[in-house]
Structures are given as C-alpha cells and as structure tokens.
C-alpha cells in the first residue's frame, strides 16, 4: 500500500514567489494527511501561457527558487515529491516543460520533459501552440522507488497510448500525470483518457490539475483524479483548490492482470511496438 497526495492548487498570476509558497504549503498539508508521495500540477509556478514560460524558467544545473523549495521540503517532510512541472531552461537556451522528482533526502532522482507539445487549434474554441516557445523531450521517464516503478508523463502525453504502454511494459505500476486540460478538452476527454489508459495497461494512473480560475486567460478544468487498474475512478476532486489523498493497493494490479490477462495475451508475433512509426 502507498498513500499519494495530489495538490490541486490555484496558480496565481501575481508572482512566482507566491506560487512557490502556496505549493510548499499544500505539500506540507498533504504530508500531514499521511501522503508518502506528493504531486503538484502542471506549470505550478507559472501561469499557463507561452509568454510566461521563458521568464519563469529555472535550470537544473543552477537551482532557482522553485527547485530549492522542492528539494528542501522533500527532505524536511521525508517524502517522494513529484514537482508537477515548471519551465526548465537548459544551457543551450532551450525551454522545456519539465517535471522534477525528489526523494526523501531532497535529492533529484529523475525528471520528465514533456514529449508531446500541446499544439492545437479547435475551431471556435481554443488555439494553443506550446512549440512556439518549448522544445519537446525525447525520453520515457520511469523511476525506481521503494514501492516499485513509477512513470511520469505530462498532460498531452497521455493522448499517446504507445508511450503509456511502453511505460507499463517496462514495469511502471503507477503513472503520475501533471496536466492542465482546459474547458474544451477537459469535459470531453479528461476522465475518458485516464480511464482508457488505466484499463488498457492495468495500472494506477493519477492526473493532477491546477484548480480552475475563470478570471485567467487559460482556464483549467480541475478534477484531479485517481483511476485503478480496473478503470474505475476511485477518487476525484471538483474544480476548486484542494488536496486529494488516495491509498493505492499495488497488489490489486496482479489480481486484475490474473483475472483479465491483457498484457499476457498480447500477440507479439503479429504486432511489435518497436515497428510503429
């Protein structure tokens, strides 16, 4: 068993410092509620707008205020901390949408750079082009923990079943996906996508959204959730700011896979994921 805490925080437009302080407060609250693993939402230190990404970016090779806080609070509270995502600046000047992961000693043990950039144009609804500012990552992120392997992906990544299947085949038992679906894609696809990926791969998947702020240019859907290996939503928030605490029975993965052996029954003699283009 492992207890996870999802922090659905309202990202403030006033200052980066205020967002960092709010994130730390919610991490502490989740830990005090017994969470072993705490997760923040996508772009938690930065209003979700491409014009902000470079300004708010921090570098792994030279910790800024956000990464210093994540390292410090994970060490202080002795938790595994998945820092949602923030804009990351590399030494070549590229900006990524990156999730940094810290262990209970405050050490950085992994990171995921969003692989699939959110470039959409839904007629009469929403247009958003992350690729105008961001560079895509190119690595699948799986991290070993005391509870087993976990996978990290970010938002739009969940729409690509090949990625999620490869993570499951490589042993990930839980996927954590910081995400900021909007009021067009959220009502239509949020629950559908998380349930589909969970039931297809018979794993736990958690989606961590910012809280909704109707006064901002990009309005997040909210509804952070946990889906079990049977595809059932076991815990879900509404659109408001809050902390979701959920206890996961990892043995249930084996129970589901034994009763409905999807992974075992794959026809690898006919199809091969490595051949997909």
Backbone angles phi, psi at 37, to 5 degrees: -125, 130
Is residue 233 within 8 A of residue 191, CB to CB? The reply is yes
Q: Active-site residue among 16, 24, 42, 241? A: 42
The tokens for 244 are 């979701």
Per the annotation, the verdict on 42 as an active-site residue is: yes
Helix or strand (DSSP H, E) at 198: helix 185-201
Q: How far is CA 146 from CA 2, 115, 149, 215, in A?
A: 10, 26, 8, 41
Q: Active-site residue among 10, 24, 114, 173? A: 114
| Measured distance CA(218)–CA(11) in Å, rounded | 11
Q: Cβ of 272: how many Cβ atoms within 10 Å? A: 9
Q: Active-site residue among 16, 155, 173, 239? A: 155
The tokens for 93 are 């000047």
* Secondary structure (3-state) at 124: coil
Catalytic residues: 42, 114, 155
């Amino acid at each position: 068993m492992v207890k996870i805490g999802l922090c659905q925080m309202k990202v403030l437009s006033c200052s980066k410092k205020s967002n960092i302080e709010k994130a730390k407060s919610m991490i502490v609250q989740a830990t005090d509620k017994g969470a072993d693993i705490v997760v923040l939402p996508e772009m938690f230190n930065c209003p979700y707008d491409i014009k902000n990404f470079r300004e708010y970016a921090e570098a792994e090779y030279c910790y800024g205020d956000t990464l210093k806080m994540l390292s410090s609070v994970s060490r202080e509270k002795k938790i595994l901390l998945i820092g949602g995502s923030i804009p990351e600046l590399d030494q070549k000047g590229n900006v990524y949408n990156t999730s940094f992961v810290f262990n209970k000693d405050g050490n950085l043990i992994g990171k995921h750079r969003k692989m699939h950039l959110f470039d959409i144009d839904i007629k009469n609804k929403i247009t958003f082009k992350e690729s105008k500012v961001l560079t895509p990552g190119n690595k699948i992120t799986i991290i070993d923990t005391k509870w087993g392997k976990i996978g990290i992906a970010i938002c739009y990544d969940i729409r690509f079943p090949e990625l999620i299947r490869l993570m499951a085949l490589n042993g990930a038992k839980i996927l954590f996906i910081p995400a900021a679906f909007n009021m067009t894609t959220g009502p239509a696809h949020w629950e559908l996508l998380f349930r589909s990926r969970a039931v297809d791969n018979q794993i736990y998947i958690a989606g961590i959204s910012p809280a909704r702020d109707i006064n901002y240019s990009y309005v997040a859907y909210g509804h952070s959730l946990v889906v079990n290996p049977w595809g059932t939503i076991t815990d879900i928030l509404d659109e408001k700011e809050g902390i979701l605490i959920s206890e996961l029975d990892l043995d249930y993965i084996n129970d589901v896979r034994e009763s409905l052996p999807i992974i075992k029954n794959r026809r690898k003699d006919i199809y091969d994921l490595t051949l997909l283009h």
